[in-house]
Amino acid sequence: MSNIKIHKIQLSIFSILIAFKTFLNPVNAIELDEKTRTVTLEESGKTTILTPEQVKRGKRLFNNSCAQCHNGGITKTNPNIGLEPDSLSKATPARDNINSLIDYIKNPTSYDGATSIAELHPSIKSAEIFPKMRNLTDEDLFAIAGHILIQPKIESEKWGGGKIYY
């Protein structure tokens, strides 16, 4: 077999593998099992199961409204604090559940909870400064919070891992 034929076969196999990865990626929202889509709803530990539609919507909205500064779960303005579970749970108040993340998106505070940062961080409270926040509904905020909370289950240590991974 000539080198050209071998090269064409290798390119064909590579193309097929890329197509499978692109179109049959196992991390599509519809294919996530209930365990992966189960997130903590409130501080008491009560959980909720996100629907596949909420997962898709949360990803789209996060990418549109949040990923500019939080791509991959990092925080570009403070790389020491990301959106991984450890950082979220150590914030004051803890931001490791849907309701507390929604509260943060509506009215963000410093990591210690002492100071409002609404003029610096996009939020519903500062929608006049941050236009992407203007039309977000409570359902949108729920989906975004859900996206943040399921990413560690999907991306593992990559979510919030910073420069090591992104």
Nearest one of 43, 78, 83 to 62, comparing CA atoms: 83
Using the structure block, give the residue that is written with the tokens 């919507």.
57
Per DSSP, helices labelled H in the chain are 3-23, 34-37, 52-65, 67-70, 85-90, 98-106, 138-155
Q: Is 70 annotated to bind ligand?
A: yes
| Rounded Cα–Cα distance for residues 157 and 144 (Å) | 20
- Spatial CB neighbours of 108, under 8 Å, sequence gap ≥ 6: 116, 117, 118, 121, 123, 125
Distances (CA, A) of 43 to 30, 115, 166: 27, 21, 31
Is 147 marked within a binding site? no
Task: Write down the residue that tokens 């507390």 correspond to.
Answer: 100
Binding site members: 66, 69-70, 121
Binding site members for heme c: 66, 69-70, 121
